[in-house]
Amino acid sequence: MKFEMERKYLSTFSFSSLTDIVLLLLIFFLLSSSFIIQPGIKVQLPRTETAAFHSEKSIYITITRAGSIYLNDRQISLGMLGAELRRFIVSGEKQVIVMRADKEVKLDLAVKVMDICKAAGAEKFLIGTQPQQEGTSVQ
């Protein structure tokens, strides 16, 4: 007795393995997206009750707790700040310099930076602050 095997092609496709793969990819991307680090310079700005939002085109100078100076999110030395700032200041326009200094930075360094900015041709200054949280008061 000879048995013959019929070879039949599957006419349907099983989506269960594809569904498992898609679910695993979804879980992977959801978990890995929470590990993305936001770019930026870490500073703790002083808090104020009368903070206002400034929307003009501004030049940002950031001073970190360690004394590092950043011009528009690019690290720069104190000696090169004046020369680099002159390139950003457009003559005829009154651009605003926003100085975001960590609350632990010594006043001496902040004054040096402001003096360099004035020598480079800056006329208007703002100091970056954080709005005061509800329920807390400044002492």
- Domain ranges for the chain: 47-131
pLDDT in tens, 8-46: 776 777 777 888 889 999 988 887 776 555 556 666 666
Return the CATH number of 47-131, one of 3.40.50.880, 3.30.465.10, 3.40.1280.10, 3.30.420.270. Answer: 3.30.420.270
| Residue that wins the pLDDT comparison between 93 and 73 | 73
The pairing of strands 47-48 and 130-131 is parallel
pLDDT at position 16, please?
Answer: 74
pLDDT in tens, 116-125: 988 888 888 8
Q: What's the Cα-to-Cα distance from 4 to each of 7, 11, 64, 77, 94, rounded to whole Å?
A: 9, 21, 81, 85, 91
pLDDT at position 48, please?
Answer: 62
Q: What does the mean pLDDT of the chain come to?
A: 77
